[in-house]
Structure 1
Amino acid sequence: MPDRDDQETIGRRVQRLRTERGLTQRQLAEPAYTPAYVSTLEAGRVRPSEEALRHIAGRLGVAYDELATGRPARLATDLRLRLTDAQRTLATGEAEVAAEQYAQLLAEAEEHGLDAEAAAALLGLGECALESGNLAAGRLRFEEAEKRLADEPLPARVPALRGRAVSHYLAGELRYACYLLESALDELNRTGMHDPDALLLLYTAVIAPYMDMGAHARAAQAAEFALALAPQVREPALVARMHRSVARTMIAEGRIADADASLAKAAELYRQLQIRTELAHCHWMRGYLYAQNGELERAESELREAQEMLSAKRAALYTSQVAVELADVLHRRGKSDEAAALLHDVLGDLSSERGAIHSGAAHRLLGIIAEDARDTDRAEEHYVRALSLLERAGAAGDLADLCRLLGDLLRRTGRVEAALDAYRTGLGHRTAPGTTTLGPAPAQPPL
C-alpha cells in the first residue's frame, strides 16, 4: 500500500473533491460517519483511518490510493507499461527517442513521488547515455538511480551499480569498475542475498574488465559461476548477455567451437527479443572470434555488419570501437591504407576518458602500419601514446605486447638502453598473470 499523505493534505483533497461533485458534508459522511467528523477531517485536525478513507473514496467515486496519495488511479501501472515501451524503443530504435520517453516518465514519477519508477527511468536514461557515448552523463544517471533506491536491499540496487561500473569501464577505469562489481558480489554472497538475477548481472559485467586487466583466471571463474546461475534466471535478455560475455573467456582458452555456440545462443535470443544493439554486439564478438582464429574474411564480414547496425542506432562509442577491430582485420588482410584511414576517422571519438582500451589499440595499430612503411619516428610516437593510454587504464595483457613492440623498434634504431627499459616494463606486466591488485577474489555463490 503506498504511503499516505499527511492529514492536512488529505483534508484539503477531500474538501476539493467533495465541492467539485456538489456534495454536502452530510451526504459524504452518511451513513457511517457524522458531518462533524468530515468537517474535522477536511480541516486537517484528525488523521483518518484506512476504513474512513475507503468509505469517503467510495462516496466520491475515486480510488482509495488516489484519495490517500493524490496519485491518479493506476498511475504506477501506467508508468511501468510506458517504461517497458521506452525500453523497447531503446532496443529497436534510437537512443535519442528513448531518452525523450524516459525523461518524460522521470518527470511524471517525480511529480507523484514514485521512487521505484523514477529509478527505472533514470536507469533507462543511463543506458541511453552509454549507447550514445556520453559516459559522464550515464554515470550521473546511474548514481541518481542508486540514491533513489538507497533504502532498498542490494539486489534492487544492482542494475544501477552495474551501470555505473560499466561507465567507469568504458572510460578506461578498469580497476575501479572491478572494485565496484567485486564489492557487490562479495556482499551478496557473504550476507546470503543470493538473488540469481543480480548475481548473473554482476558476474557477466565483471568478465570484460577482468580480461582487459589480464586477470584471465578470475574471468574464467566468473564465467563458470554465470553459466551455473543461468538456469535459475527467467529474464532471457540477462541470459543472452551472459552467453555473449562468457564467449570471450572461451576464446581466450582456445575453445572456439564453444564460444561460437555461446554466441549463437545469445544472437538467437536477441533476435527473438528484437534487441538490435545487443545483436550488433554479438556480430562484433563473432568478428573478434573469427579474427582470433585466423578466419579474416569472415571476421571482416561480421565486424562490418556490427558497425553498420551500431551506426544506424547512432551508438557512437561502440561504432568507433568496432572500427578499431575492423581496422586490425583489414591490416592483416593487406589493406593497410584502408585500415589507417579508418583509424584516423575514429581517433577523434576515442580518448583516455572515452574508450581508452580501443584508443590505445588504435595507436598501437597505427604504429605497426607506420613501422611497416619504415616511418620509425611516427611509429614510436604512436607506440608511446598507446603505452600511456593502456598504463592509465591498467590493461596489463595488452601492455606487455606493446612494450615488446616498442622495445624491438628502439633496438632496431640503436637505442639499446631505452629498448631494455621497454622490455623490463613489459616483463613487469607479465609477472603475475591472471591476477589483479584488488586483493582476494569475492566470496563465491553457493552453487
Structure 2
Amino acid sequence: MESSDSVRGCAGTAEARAGMEYAQDATAEIGRRLRDLRRERGLKQSDLAGEGMSVSYLSLLESGKRPVTPVILRRLAAELDCTVEYLRTGAASDQELERQQQLLLRTTLAELALRGGELGAALAACDAVLAEEPPADPATRRRAEIARADALERLNRPADALAGLRELYRDEALGPGSAEWLRLAVALCRCHLLAGEPASAVEFGRAALARLDAVLAPPTEDHLGLGVVLIEAHHRAGALAAAKELADRLLPHAERAASPAARATAFRQASRRAQQRGETALALILAERALALPAEDELARHLGLLKAGYGSLLLDGPAPEPGQAKKYLALAGTELARCGRPLDRAGCELSLARADLMLGQYADGAAHAERALDLVGRQYSGLGVWAWLQLGEARRLQGQEQAATAALRTVELLLGEAEARLAGGRERAEAWRALGDQWLGHGCPDAAMNAYRQGLAAAGLSGAAPLRAVLRPSEP
C-alpha cells in the first residue's frame, strides 16, 4: 500500500504538470493574438523588431515557443495600439469595448444612410470608420468596406469599388451561403458589368454560382441576386443561349417564392451536409442563415430584376417576342417601382421602350425612354446613352425629325465627354456603332462615318476621328 507521502508526491507532480500545460497554452494564446493583431494592423515582423527583440525572437513569440516578458509585452502593446491586458487575456478594456461599439454604431448608421439613398454621406461615414486608429474589429471593418463599395458602385464609380471587393471576397472567414459572401459576390459581378467588363463578370459570376450550387441545392431565392446579374452579364457578352438557360432555371423561383420557413429548412439541410463533411465553419454560417430571414424588399427586388432580365432576353433572341416580353416587363416594373433602385427601374423602362418600338407603339416607347432618362439623370451613364438612342429612334418613327436629331446630338455629346475622361470599352464602342446606324437611318452618312470611327477607336482598333467633326455632323 502506498504511503500518504507518496500519494501527495504524485498529486503534486500532476498539479505541476497541469500548471505547465496551462502556462504553455497561455503562451500560445498570447503568441496567436500578437500575430493576428500585427496582421490586422498591416505590419511585418520586421516592423516590430528592434532593440532587444529580433525578428527571429518575435517569430518564436508568435508561434508560442517562448514566453513573453513583461517588458516586451508592454512594448508590443504600445506598438500595436492595444492594452497589455488584451495581449495577456484577450479581454478588451471597458473603454475599448465602448469605442468598438461606437464604431459599429457609426457603420450601421452609414448602412442606413446608404439604404436611404444618401450615398455621399454613407461613403464619408465608411471612410471615417476605416481610417480609425486603432482600427475597428475585423467584422465591423468588413461591414464598413462592403457598405463603402456599395456606395461607390451606386455613385457610378465601379472601378474604385472593385479593388476593395476583390480583397474582401478572398476573406476565408466568409463562406458561400453567408449573407456577406452573397452580397460581395453579387456586387463584384455587377461592378465588372458597370466597368464595361462583361467577360470578367461572366467568368466571376459562373464561378461564384457554382460555389453557391455546391452548398445550396436545389436553388433557393439566394440564387436570384447572383443569377440576375449573371444573366445580364451573359446577355451583354452576347451569350444569349447561356443567359436564357440560366433564366429558365431560375424563373420558377420568381413565380413561386418560397416561404421563410421553407428557406430556413433549405439552409438547415445545407448546414447538416456541411457538418457531415467536416466543414464546421461553413455549417455554422449556414445554420445562422437559417435563423435570419431575408429582407423582404431585397427579395422582391431580385424577383423584379429576374423578370426584367427575362423580358429583355425575349427581345434579343433570334425570334423576338415583344408582346410576351412586355408581360414580364410590366410585372417587373410593378415590383421595382416599390423596392427597386433608380437604375433597376431605368433598365426596365428602357426594355419597355424597345418592346413598344418593336410593336409599333412609338408614343409609348418614347414615354418609357423619357422615364428612363428621368431616373438616370442627364449626365453620362451607359443606360442614359441607350435611353437617348431609344428616344431618338422613337421620335424618328413618330416623324418628329427635329426632336430625333436633337436626341442623337445629345448622344454624341455624352459619348464625346466620356471618351475624354475614360478609356475605351466595348459598351461605348457598341453605343457609337448604334449611333452610326441611326444617323444612316436619318440620311446623314458623314455623321454616321464619324460615329463608326469613334466606335473603332473605343474598341482600340483605330485612331479617333477629330472630336470637332463628331460634335457637328453634317445636316441631312
* Same-fold status (TM-score > 0.5): yes
The aligned residue for residue 114 of structure 2 is 126
Q: CA deviation at 1:221?
A: 1.4
Do the aligned partners of 2:107 and 2:143 also contact (CA within 8 Å) in 1? no
AA of the residue aligned to 2:308: G
Of 391, 398, 409, which residue of structure 2 is paired with 1:373?
398
SS in 1 for 2:116: helix
**For 2:441 and 2:323, how far apart are their aligned partners in 1?**
33
The aligned residue for residue 188 of structure 2 is 206
Do the aligned partners of 1:400 and 1:430 also contact (CA within 8 Å) in 2? yes
C-alpha offsets along residues 94-153 of structure 1, whole Å, 9 cap, x if unaligned?
xxxxxxxxxxxxxxx98x944324423422331232xxxx43344334445545698257
Of 224, 229, 237, which residue of structure 2 is paired with 1:245?
229
The aligned residue for residue 260 of structure 1 is 248
Q: CA deviation at 1:320?
A: 4.0
The aligned residue for residue 384 of structure 2 is 359
| 1:403 is the counterpart of 2:429 | no
**For 1:341 and 1:227, how far apart are their aligned partners in 2?**
37
Residues 386/223 of structure 1: CA separation in 2 closer, same or farther (3 Å cut): same
Residues 292/166 of structure 1: CA separation in 2 closer, same or farther (3 Å cut): same
Do the aligned partners of 2:122 and 2:148 also contact (CA within 8 Å) in 1? yes
Residues 428/282 of structure 1: CA separation in 2 closer, same or farther (3 Å cut): farther
Q: TM-score, normalised by structure 1?
A: 0.59
**For 1:270 and 1:172, how far apart are their aligned partners in 2?**
33
Of 337, 340, 353, which residue of structure 2 is paired with 1:311?
337
The number of aligned residues is 323
C-alpha offsets along residues 5-61 of structure 1, whole Å, 9 cap, x if unaligned?
xxxxxxxxxxxxxxxxxxxxxxxxxxxxxxxxxxxxxxxxxxxx9xxxxxxxxxxxx
Do the aligned partners of 1:330 and 1:338 also contact (CA within 8 Å) in 2? yes
| 1:383 is the counterpart of 2:408 | yes
Gaps of 5+ in 1: 1-48, 50-64, 77-108, 433-447
AA of the residue aligned to 2:199: A
Residues 210/350 of structure 1: CA separation in 2 closer, same or farther (3 Å cut): same
Residues 419/150 of structure 1: CA separation in 2 closer, same or farther (3 Å cut): farther
Two-structure CA RMSD over aligned residues (Å): 4.2
Residue pairs, 1:185-200, within 5 angstroms: 185=169, 188=170, 196=176, 197=178, 200=182
Of 178, 194, 206, which residue of structure 1 is paired with 2:162?
178
Do the aligned partners of 2:247 and 2:306 also contact (CA within 8 Å) in 1? no
Q: TM-score, normalised by structure 2?
A: 0.55
C-alpha offsets along residues 230-255 of structure 1, whole Å, 9 cap, x if unaligned?
24589x77654223323333445222
Residues 317/419 of structure 1: CA separation in 2 closer, same or farther (3 Å cut): closer
Do the aligned partners of 1:276 and 1:309 also contact (CA within 8 Å) in 2? no
AA of the residue aligned to 2:186: T
The aligned residue for residue 341 of structure 1 is 367
Residues 126/227 of structure 1: CA separation in 2 closer, same or farther (3 Å cut): same
**For 1:351 and 1:274, how far apart are their aligned partners in 2?**
28
The structure showing larger relative contact order (alpha-carbon pairs under 8 Å, at least 6 residues apart) is 1
The aligned residue for residue 25 of structure 2 is none
Of 307, 318, 324, which residue of structure 2 is paired with 1:286?
307
Q: Structure 1 vs Structure 2: percent identity of aligned residues? A: 17
AA of the residue aligned to 2:390: L
Do the aligned partners of 2:103 and 2:140 also contact (CA within 8 Å) in 1? no
AA of the residue aligned to 2:431: L
Q: CA deviation at 1:367?
A: 1.1
**For 1:301 and 1:175, how far apart are their aligned partners in 2?**
35
Do the aligned partners of 2:305 and 2:336 also contact (CA within 8 Å) in 1? no
Residues 153/263 of structure 1: CA separation in 2 closer, same or farther (3 Å cut): farther
C-alpha offsets along residues 175-203 of structure 1, whole Å, 9 cap, x if unaligned?
33334434555xx37xx666554554333
| 1:216 is the counterpart of 2:198 | yes
Q: CA deviation at 1:292?
A: 1.9
The aligned residue for residue 167 of structure 1 is 151
Q: CA deviation at 1:287?
A: 2.5
Residue pairs, 1:92-111, within 5 angstroms: none
**For 1:387 and 1:317, how far apart are their aligned partners in 2?**
22
| 1:326 is the counterpart of 2:331 | no
AA of the residue aligned to 2:397: D
**For 2:129 and 2:165, how far apart are their aligned partners in 1?**
16
SS in 2 for 1:348: helix
